[in-house]
Structure 1
C-alpha cells in the first residue's frame, strides 16, 4: 500500500475482525474513520448477483461527477476492465480475502495512479461476507490536481492481501483462469455471447 491512509483503513479492519475472517458491518464505526469517509464506499451484491454501491464517499462521487449510491460497481470502471473488477469484488466477498487494486484514472489531462482497497464485511456473525468496505485513494499525497469528472478507472494490477497487508497473489497471466476454476459459475460474470 502506497497511501498511508489505505494502511490505516486496513489496520482498522484487521483490528475489528480479530481472529475471524471478516468483521461485522455493525462493528464499523464511521467516527473512527471520519477523516477518510470521503474516500470510502460500501458495495454489496445486488439481486442480479452483481456488485453495487450501497454508499460512496463525497470525494469518490466528486471525482466522477455523479452520485454512486445504488449504482452498479461496474459503472466506475472503463468498459474493458469491468468484468475483471466484478470478478475480483466477488472473490473478496466469497473467499473473505482482502484485496488491493492498482488503478489508473484518466481525467483528460493525463492519467493518475490510485489504489483501491477491498475488505470483506459480514452482515451477521454466522453468515459469510456479503459486502465490501472499500477505499479509493491516490498514490500521491497531497491529492493530485485532477480535472473533473474522470472517465473511469482502469485496472492495472491487483493482489489478495494476507492479515498483515502483504500480497500473495498478483494479477499475472493465469490468475483470472485460476479464479474461474475456483469460483462457482454463479459468482462469475456472464459473457454477452451466452
Structure 2
C-alpha cells in the first residue's frame, strides 16, 4: 500500500472497526473522508452474485468516462484478469480480506497510467455484503479524465490480514501477476494456512511471515 489516499482510507477504516473484522456499513460517515470521496466507491453483490458499483466518486467516474453505478467491477478489466478480480472481490465480501491491487489503466487512445486500488470489507450482513474501496492514480497526466480508461490490467496484488501484517512496509514485495492468471478455484483456496503458500505463479502471504 503506497498511495496516500489508500493509506488514509485504510487508517479510517481500521479506527472504525475497533478490532472487529470490519466496521459496520452504517459507521461510515462521508464527511469524515470528504477529501477522498472523489476516488472512493462502494461495491455490493447483485442478484447474480457479481460485485457491482453501488456508488462511485466523481473523479473515478471521470477516469472511466462514464457513471459507474450498476457496472460490474470485473467488467473494467482485461478478460484474462476478470475471474481473479471477481474472486478478490468475493474475498473482501465474505472473508473480510483487505485487498491491494496495483494496475495499469489503458485509455481509449492507447495511453497508459499506473493506479492503486484498495478493497476494504464492511459488515452489512450476509444478505447484503458491501465493500468500501478507493482507486487512485499514481501519476496525474494531462489526459486523465479526458481520454477515458477502457481497460485495466493487474500488475501486482496483495491479500492482507490487517490484524497480523504490517500494512505500511513499502519495501515488501508484491505478488506479480503474469499473463496467465490463476483459476477461480485456485484463488478460492488461498489464505487458509498460517504460512505463505505457492499457488502456481502466486505466493499468498499471511501474517507478514516470509516464504
Q: Return the TM-score normalized by structure 2.
A: 0.76
Q: Are 2:117 and 1:112 aligned?
A: no
Q: Return the TM-score normalized by structure 1.
A: 0.82
Q: Could you tell me which residue of structure 2 aligns to residue 69 of structure 1?
A: 69
> More displaced, 158-167 or 85-94?
158-167
Measure the CA separation in 1 of the matches of 2:22 and 2:128.
7
Structure 1, residues 133-175: CA drift from partner, whole Å, max 9, x if none?
01000123xx332252111211111111232425798356897
Q: Could you tell me which residue of structure 1 aligns to residue 194 of structure 2?
A: none
- Shift of the alpha carbon at 1:102? 0.6
Q: Is the 8 A contact 2:158 2:174 kept in 1?
A: yes
Measure the CA separation in 1 of the matches of 2:84 and 2:33.
29
- Shift of the alpha carbon at 1:6? 0.9
5 Å-filtered alignment, 1:126-141, equals: 130-140=129-139
Among 185, 188, 209, the alignment partner of 1:180 is 188
Q: Could you tell me which residue of structure 1 aligns to residue 175 of structure 2?
A: 170
Q: Is the 8 A contact 1:93 1:129 kept in 2?
A: no
Unaligned runs of 5+ in 1: 184-194
CA RMSD of aligned residues (A): 2.5
Judged with a 3 Å threshold, the aligned counterparts in structure 2 of structure 1 residues 178 and 80 are, in CA distance, closer, same or farther, namely closer
Moved segments of 4+, more than 6 Å = none
Judged with a 3 Å threshold, the aligned counterparts in structure 2 of structure 1 residues 168 and 12 are, in CA distance, closer, same or farther, namely farther
- Shift of the alpha carbon at 1:128? 8.7
Measure the CA separation in 2 of the matches of 1:27 and 1:111.
36
Q: Is the 8 A contact 1:52 1:70 kept in 2?
A: yes
Length, aligned pairs only? 179
- Shift of the alpha carbon at 1:119? 0.3
Q: Is the 8 A contact 2:65 2:148 kept in 1?
A: yes
- Report the 3-state secondary structure (helix = DSSP H, G, I; strand = E; otherwise coil) of the residue aligned with 1:123: coil
